[in-house]
Amino acid sequence: MVYQTIVGRSKKDLEIYNDKCTGYIGKHIVGTGEDAHLTTKVRFDLLRPHVSLISGKRGTGKSYIAGVFVEEVCNLEEKYRENIATVVIDTMGIFWSMKFPNEQQIQLVEDWKLKPQAMNNIKIFAPTSQLKEYEKSNIPIDEGISIAPYEFSAEDWLLAFNLERTSSIGISLEKNINQLIKSEEKFSIDDIISKIRDDNETSDDIKNAIKNMLTVAEQWGVFDENGSDISSMIKPGQITIIDLSRLRSSQAWSVRNLIVALISRKIYDIRVIARKEEEVSKITGEILKNKKPMIWLIIDEAHNFIPSDIETVSSEPLKIISKQGREPGVSLTVITQMPNKIHQDILSQTDIVISNRLTSRDDLEALHSVMQTYHSENLWKYINSLPRWPGAAVILDDNMEKVFTINIRPRISWHAGGTAIIA
């Protein structure tokens, strides 16, 4: 009998399903230093929703690990794959390369008894106004994405631009957006600007400040009066990559947060309704038409979307998913090099942590906060015992109540996230 570990799988599910609907992510590391060696396989549970954290210092392979997970979802048996839709928020612009096989590490891949493979069920979205830029760079993008201003409340706009509700700008923006919302008609950024320009109770200085703020936001080309249909982007068996890598200025982060807020809300709403439909189907015995898949949301540079010190427009939707997403069938994976910058509400709900090497005491203490009382050993010991191998990581599994070391398997699709070099 071949023994293997299935991270995140309960004993009950292990008895019923064994290793079905799991992903092969690596092998155990046994021993330390020169005595370290690889042993049995480690797999990841994809049957049920999880809240997971991938962390590590810059350049240690966090996005690489996320890519391994996505590959395993792509290669699930069809009956399982068609019940999962994956959405990746790509802030670095590196996941597009999964459409190509990993020919650059072919010997390593073969050493692990794997084969290079392109992922065919991936669809990449980028802001509609940037599609021509991607086309000129020969980067494959399938469709554009845009968001409608009327999808957001006045409070959302204040959070997005970090405005105090009691400030002059905040008061004017909130009042005028609420009036536009009350009209129950669609509106654009230009409509907001026009509305504020006609407001006799707002000074010219405040009007100009708001106009400049909104004009800069509009120039990113993400806003459209109609906006994309988020639900149509989430399809059974599809990996949806939202490439936001070219929105990188301080102002652009406001736009990014709005996009993530909208996507998170839509994902949660879709699954809440779907879960009720599934229960009705069980009660009545009727076959469910247009069954909605469970959804796995993966967010890179997550500390920018759900920070520990301030509230952003995307904070609340992500908190809701972390606290309530398991029941309707939404998984959340946050990726960060600074786990201490992730909101405590996310850390407290995390049941699986995969961490590459960390050196910051604050970051290690943040991971310690995830560990429950069943495990009192010092996390420093595990981190320091990691061999200096690419892909060496520590796993904290709340389901198994264990901490162990693992070597992540090589990617079978192309990884575009390596550090640039001159040669």
Looking at this protein, which amino acid is placed at residue 200?
Answer: N
User: Do 283 and 207 belong together in one domain?
Assistant: no
Residue with tokens 């049941």: 351
Q: Which of 218, 252, 276 is the last residue of a domain?
A: 218
254: left (phi over 0), alpha (psi -120 to 50) or beta: alpha
Q: Which of 188, 218, 248 is the last residue of a domain?
A: 218
Other Cβ atoms less than 10 A from the Cβ of 361: the count is 10
Using an 8 Å Cβ cutoff, are 335 and 303 in contact?
no
How far is residue 237's CA from residue 77's CA, in Å, rounded to a whole number?
10
Mean pLDDT of 35-55: 94
Question: Does residue 374 have a pLDDT over 60?
Answer: no
Q: Which of 187, 218, 249 is the last residue of a domain?
A: 218
User: Do 246 and 213 belong together in one domain?
Assistant: no
Question: Does residue 377 have a pLDDT over 80?
Answer: no
Residue 128 lies in a domain: no
How far is residue 66's CA from residue 215's CA, in Å, rounded to a whole number?
35
Other Cβ atoms less than 10 A from the Cβ of 370: the count is 20
User: Do 250 and 303 belong together in one domain?
Assistant: yes
Per-residue model confidence (pLDDT) at position 387: 84
Query: Which stretches within 302-354 are classed as H helix?
Result: 315-324, 344-349
Mean pLDDT of 304-325: 96
Residue 423 lies in a domain: no
**Nearest 5 degrees, angle CA 190-CA 192-CA 196?**
115
Per-residue H/E/C for 198-256: CCCCCCHHHHHHHHHHHHHHHCCCCECCCCCCHHHHCCCCCEEEEECCCCCCHHHHHHH
Structure tokens at 42: 């480690």
User: Do 166 and 99 belong together in one domain?
Assistant: no
Indicate the range of 10-14, 222-226, 262-266, 357-361 predicted with least confidence.
357-361
Per-residue model confidence (pLDDT) at position 225: 86
Selection from 233, 254, 113, 101 nearest residue 173 by Cα: 254
* pLDDT digit string, tens, across residues 84-140: 999 999 999 999 999 999 999 999 999 999 999 999 999 999 999 889 888 888 889
pLDDT-based confidence at residue 32 (cuts at 50, 70, 90): confident
Counting every residue written for the chain, the total comes to 423
Structure tokens at 150: 């009327």
Question: Does residue 34 have a pLDDT over 90?
Answer: no
User: Do 65 and 106 belong together in one domain?
Assistant: yes
Per-residue model confidence (pLDDT) at position 303: 95
Using an 8 Å Cβ cutoff, are 67 and 333 in contact?
no
User: Do 325 and 247 belong together in one domain?
Assistant: yes
How far is residue 56's CA from residue 261's CA, in Å, rounded to a whole number?
25
Structure tokens at 59: 């350049």
Looking at this protein, which amino acid is placed at residue 3?
Answer: Y
Structure tokens at 175: 């009042």
Per-residue model confidence (pLDDT) at position 383: 80
| Proportion of the chain above pLDDT 70, given as a percent | 95
Other Cβ atoms less than 10 A from the Cβ of 186: the count is 14
Residue 131 lies in a domain: no
Per-residue model confidence (pLDDT) at position 360: 79
Question: Does residue 2 have a pLDDT over 60?
Answer: no
* pLDDT digit string, tens, across residues 148-173: 999 999 999 999 989 999 999 999 99
Using an 8 Å Cβ cutoff, are 80 and 293 in contact?
no
Per-residue model confidence (pLDDT) at position 419: 63
Per-residue model confidence (pLDDT) at position 338: 92
User: Do 249 and 174 belong together in one domain?
Assistant: no
pLDDT-based confidence at residue 421 (cuts at 50, 70, 90): low
User: Do 267 and 353 belong together in one domain?
Assistant: yes
Cα 376 off chain centre by: 30
pLDDT-based confidence at residue 248 (cuts at 50, 70, 90): low
Q: What CATH number corresponds to the domain at position 266? A: 3.40.50.300
How far is residue 222's CA from residue 193's CA, in Å, rounded to a whole number?
17
Question: Does residue 353 have a pLDDT over 90?
Answer: yes
Mean pLDDT of 360-382: 71
* pLDDT digit string, tens, across residues 362-372: 888 887 777 66
User: Do 162 and 259 belong together in one domain?
Assistant: no
Question: Does residue 304 have a pLDDT over 90?
Answer: yes
pLDDT-based confidence at residue 251 (cuts at 50, 70, 90): low
How far is residue 85's CA from residue 187's CA, in Å, rounded to a whole number?
31
User: Do 118 and 206 belong together in one domain?
Assistant: no
Domain count, the chain: 2
Helix (H, G, I), strand (E, B) or coil at 139: coil
pLDDT-based confidence at residue 423 (cuts at 50, 70, 90): low
Using an 8 Å Cβ cutoff, are 353 and 51 in contact?
no
Rg (C-alpha) for the chain, rounded Å, is: 23
User: Do 204 and 80 belong together in one domain?
Assistant: no
Residue with tokens 């009720």: 276
25: left (phi over 0), alpha (psi -120 to 50) or beta: alpha
Structure tokens at 46: 């994809």
Pairing of strands 37-45, 22-30: antiparallel
Q: Residue 60's domain spans which residues? A: 4-122+237-408
Residue 380 lies in a domain: yes
**pLDDT averaged over every residue in the chain:** 91
* pLDDT digit string, tens, across residues 47-92: 999 999 999 888 778 999 999 999 999 999 999 999 999 999 999 9
Residue with tokens 């570990």: 5
Selection from 158, 161, 130 nearest residue 146 by Cα: 130
Per-residue model confidence (pLDDT) at position 1: 42
